Structure 1
Amino acid sequence: MKLRLALLASVCLGLPLAAHAQPVTGPYVSLGLGTNIMDSQSYNYAINASQSGRFIFRPDYAGVVGLGYGLGNGVRIEIDGNYYRNTVKKQNDNQIGNNTRMHGGVVTYGAMANLMYDIPVGLPIEPYFGGGVGYQEQQFEHLVNGYGDNYSGTAGSFAYDLIAGVSYPIAAVPGLSLTAEYRFMQLTARRKYLDAPGGDLINVGQSANSTLLIGARYALFTPPPPMAPAPAPTPVAAPAPAPARTYLVFFDWNKSNLTPRATQIVSEAAADSQRVQTTTIDVSGYTDTSGTPAYNDKLSMRRAQTVAAQLVADGVAKSEIEIHAYGETHLLVPTGPGVREPQNRRVEIVLK
């Protein structure tokens, strides 16, 4: 009795938690196999109520199949069909005596409508609770004692049950869970059976059954697990801009015309500007320190214009060229005034 009360209390306490469950959604089937422990059953004779006693039973096998539907909010509705068998062990009777050995079996079968609650606890296993009502038939299959009594027949009764169990999902098979379950079921009505060969009837009291089951539950039409998101593409760094390329064109003293070697260098610069992504070509003219600064400014401009004209002749768009004249400033080789340094008489072509 204490076990039944504890189970009932567990079901009641589990109700507030059921809203947080993550149960089966949609239809499912279940199967459980195990053993049934039947409590002793009291009886008395219909024609002689003073004769009474109890039947004592041994545990035997049990099976339960179910068809259910998960509502997706922690609630499952389940219709179960059960088949329990027990063997009779002995009879205690107030007239023929106690511990009378018997043989024969009792079969209990029927259907139950149950309401179940799955409760997530953050562990690999998920507990559940439930209960319901239904109708059961109980058949006495010739319970025979050594005094010639032979009790037999089939009678039905309203029944209720309480359920507690745990499930363990199998990740490799979506929708499949292994289950371990305890069920308590009580047949509430008194039932009548025949005692042959005398033809007397006996009234049998309520029948209580404790069932332990190991089984499986399979959710039908389980959607496949979501695919893992594709990895984000590895960002590709923008290519670094190509370094500026510089070409040096040298001039004779006090000259702005191109030498053959200078013409060759300008042609190379023009060709290279077509192969690389060039947006601007800087053409900057310089002089040495001989001559006056004003004269040198004009000479450096004439040198830069000569090189720019040759670049255009070699296929470079005039719009890409920027001309600068720096006179005797920015010396490549530092010197004093009035020095004719060949390295300073130059034009720099810079591809950008």
Structure 2
Amino acid sequence: MTSAGARLWRGFFGGWLNATVTIVTLAVVWLVVAPIVRWALLDAVWVGDAKTCAAAEGACWAFIGEKLRFILFAFYPFGEHWRAALALAALVAVLGLSAVPRLWSVWLAGACAGLLASAWALLGGGLFGPPVPMAQWGGLPLTLLITILAFAGGFPIGLALALGRRSRLPILSWLCTIYIELARGIPLITALYLAMLVLPLALPEGVELETLVRASLAMTLFFAAYFAEIIRAGLQGVPESQTEAALSLGYSPFGAMRHVILPQALRSVVPALVTIAIGILQSTTLVAAIGVFDLLNAARQAANDTAWLGFYDEAYAFAALVYFTLCFGASRYSVWLEKRL
């Protein structure tokens, strides 16, 4: 037995206590996993109609095959799904390009902004086909769009709030502190309802914002407070001697912050920023409460079809698989990025 195998054997069965815990754990896993495997794979229906699924004991993955386009794109016009697919590809490209540290530059920001504008134009129509109201946008493109907008908007606002909270101007510091503590002290669902019910009252007469815009704005301002605290923690982790050294070399206070302090602070909190991005993605499911058809809400609505009524387990399992794939990939990327930096 190799040394690695010996270490594993000692870890699992080295002594009566380890052996007992291992055997009990395996038994519990078998009792829990075996029925799930039987339902999801062995007894599942992969091809057929609703009647075939109703007669079976396993999962009805034929339902996912039939409703896949609706789950991905919700009520977006069926004949224009190619536009939604291209918009989804543009949003995935934004995520992919942003994940490469070698590309982090002003040019990347411009490229990502162009891809976002392209995705928005594709979904909205006009240049690429008949206009599609925002009320019909939905599914996975909408989920990724809200996530990217909330992150891209919340990060610079959070940076400004973090710097403002550390400012020597008492009024500015107090205002930033009050905003951060208020935003972090309320649930996100409350912020979404405020955006839906209170924001229209604050707008000038005749000015209206679509539900999607209000939801994105609410999530941006909400998560900006969390960005602010993460960035502030990074700034506090940079020794004061770094600032003194930069000033002694002739940097202005602004130059020292921009060229010396911020790069070190942001590098140290990049994994936490990725964690916030995962949290934003998971929190997009709450927009269903205000009538936005994100991926999860589209999956639930698909199971309400009278021809395929009641297959909620399969709908939620598929949505969970998509979210798990995105979040697990982001978490592995965070580990890789932390080692690289």
TM-score by length of 2: 0.21
Of Structure 1 and Structure 2, the greater strand share is in 1
Structure number with the bigger relative contact order (C-alpha 8 A, sep ≥ 6) is: 2
Of Structure 1 and Structure 2, the greater helix share is in 2
